A and B are shown apart, each in its own frame.
Chain A
């Protein structure tokens, strides 16, 4: 009986969502576009590509649909996973673009929801949901890559404030972000994991400067970020002082799931069969065809695994360390797919005129960013298989 009611409620919810989308999603936002050119990142530096993009963001934000599963007081719509899935299906059905994407939504939001104080949640989450404040992530440093807990950017205790000095690297969109969440060393004497705090900083604070990084794939959103005598109020620490590693670990798990779950797993979104038949030579190469078939089988099995883990998470079993597997398998498979696409394109894919080459080169970072494949394998080996050392 309860199940029938629940199904009835979901059908009713689907009708509501469909009507709402029909009325509120501007026609220009229904072109099914995804990827860098279609993304709305929000924030004070953001220039809307057209009026419809702003309208779409504002309407979704008013309804809580930029962060559908967040609780209502923090700018969300309080949807269950089933409802969220329906919303996504209905949006996909009309080719609706995502109204807002940001590191605030993907990373800081989940961390604040779990570790933030009530004041912090009420202060920081709604502007993320409305797309008013854009966040960037300050984790890696030149000397702290895979060994992230080795961060040295220092926050000196000055009573009411921290005085921050040091350098972050690989801060995506630091040059466009309004605020940064960063891992700072707040105790140099403690063991390295126990002297780190998770700190929020206004990027307009005096002493913060940024410089973009050029990658093998061309211009990139990555920056170096420098901190020189930056004053930060103490209440901008999330969670307990010196226990920022707990927050970071939680966020990294979240980030891994996102990297394996997002566009990176599916590559360009095209089935490999279509890639081969669209290419000049791919169809006729039996070796390429065989490798593509193998990659297709693996992609489907990975999709089923994502589905299984979501079902597990909903049943109360966290994915936990298995997210390392999703990150590892997802990114390695994505690199493989792009290699196959390049091979299928032949010499036609070798110029910068085509975006294929830069996409292919960019995927090489997938198995480095957010924890390298080797770090993922070590996590699995130690925490899941309990192998020594």
Chain B
């Protein structure tokens, strides 16, 4: 396996992403977006697309840069640091990973549009309050050449803004994966007022008629087609969340060095020093798990489940610890909306649930480790 250290290219990519995001999309941009009552930032996505990020997992034959998962994680980590709002995970990571498994002309056209920033996707996965992608009640009934979709999906990230939706449905012949326009007749979106101020929606499929072309891959093999995309998304979200944990921790250690009480900087108190040092250790372990997941997804994607779940479980846990310690060590100011820590905390909570929480991924690990 390639080494668990950043390559020179990855370091350059990370520096470029850091330079761009810290200037063009710092946390204040999320704050402005929220205060303006918006849930997404299409202008920013266009800028990111110009930098080639939308095509990071799109094959070169479809005009992508095809830099791979580890590179996507470098970008996601920087987005996590800045709490960047974009359809990167849904579109550039998950939809691209899913679609590139197919080789027909229509799919290639979609991949080209993704890379060019002309097409965004949402993945409609959850039907209950917890991630459980194989538990599907939404039905696909054969009608003529096509299908009729009926049912509901919850917590569809990017569900309002996305041009297209990928949805898993239950048919008489097993699970089928469909790719349809988000404006299909009968499909309605109920926008959710999310704590992290981002786009998510419940999707109602009320006798949505789709043509035979909307079915991706083979009948009954929908989950097999979806799984690599989910794992790519889980790993990239782990990378984003690790970046988030690092940024919240950096705010905290800066504060420990500057805040004075009892006449001295609070960072000289051993009780706080040891908590900060422990937090640093947690982040180190999680960073390793994310690097490992990226390498395995690039080299041996069929064997990535364990690595991805270790990364997502660790990142979920680490980010929550980082923001909780962040608020506590900041004291009162950490509770104020004027201070950024709250934004980190809310995003960490949403990211914890999306694509499987700690329990889901620890369960995957346990199953693969003989529990």
Contacts and interface: CB of A to CB of B under 8 A. Distances in A.
Among B270, B288, B291, B313, the most chain A Cβ lie within 10 Å of the Cβ of B288
Contacts of B277: 376-378, 380-381, 384-385
Interface residues of B, number: 36
B109 interface: no
Given A277-B370, A297-B314, A304 B365 contact: no
17 contacts: A271-B369, A272-B369, A293-B371, A300-B289, A301-B289, A302-B285, A308-B288, A308-B292, A311-B5, A315-B5, A329-B281, A374-B274, A381-B276, A381-B277, A384-B277, A385-B253, A387-B256
B269 to A, nearest CB: 9
B267 interface: yes
Nearest to B274: A377
Among B4, B253, B265, the most chain A Cβ lie within 10 Å of the Cβ of B4
Interface string B256-299: 11000000010110100110111011001110110110000000
B185 interface: no
Nearest to A310: B4
Interface in B1-46: 3-5
B21 to A, nearest CB: 24
B118 interface: no
A328 B268 CA distance: 21
Interface of B: 3-5, 253, 256-257, 265, 267-268, 270, 273-274, 276-278, 280-281, 284-286, 288-289, 291-292, 306, 310, 313-314, 361-363, 365-366, 369-371
A322 B284 CA distance: 9
Contacts of A329: 281, 285
A246 B256 CA distance: 31
A308 B4 contact: yes
Nearest to B315: A301
A324 to B, nearest CB: 9
A158 interface: no
Contacts of B276: 381, 385, 387
A371 to B, nearest CB: 13
A388 interface: yes
B336 to A, nearest CB: 24
A322 B288 CA distance: 13
Given A292-B366, A300-B289, A378-B273, 13 more contacts: A271-B370, A289-B366, A289-B371, A290-B362, A293-B365, A293-B366, A307-B288, A376-B277, A378-B270, A380-B277, A384-B280, A387-B276, A388-B265
Given A325-B284, A329-B281, A378-B277, A297 B371 contact: no
Contacts of A315: 3, 5
Contact of A304 (B253, B270, B288): B288
Nearest to B273: A381
Nearest to A276: B371
A297 to B, nearest CB: 5
B254 to A, nearest CB: 10
Nearest to A387: B267
A262 to B, nearest CB: 18
Contacts, number: 118
A333 B296 CA distance: 25
Contacts of B310: 297, 300-301, 304
A237 B289 CA distance: 43
Contacts of A381: 273-274, 276-277
The 3 lowest CB-CB distance pairs between A and B, nearest first, are: A273-B371, A273-B370, A308-B4
Contacts of B257: 386-388
A113 B320 CA distance: 44
Among A277, A328, A384, the most chain B Cβ lie within 10 Å of the Cβ of A384
A305 interface: yes
A314 to B, nearest CB: 8
A311 B289 contact: no
B281 A325 contact: yes
A312 interface: yes
A43 B3 CA distance: 39
Contacts of B361: 297
A381 B281 CA distance: 11
Contact of A308 (B291, B369, B371): B291
A300 B365 CA distance: 9
Nearest to B312: A297
A325 B280 contact: yes
A164 B78 CA distance: 58
A274 interface: yes
A14 to B, nearest CB: 17
A312 B366 contact: no
Interface in A288-347: 289-290, 292-294, 296-298, 300-302, 304-305, 307-308, 311-312, 314-315, 317, 322, 325, 328-329
Contacts of A272: 369, 371
Contacts of B366: 273, 289, 292-293, 296
Contact of B280 (A273, A311, A380): A380
A298 to B, nearest CB: 7
A381 B271 CA distance: 11
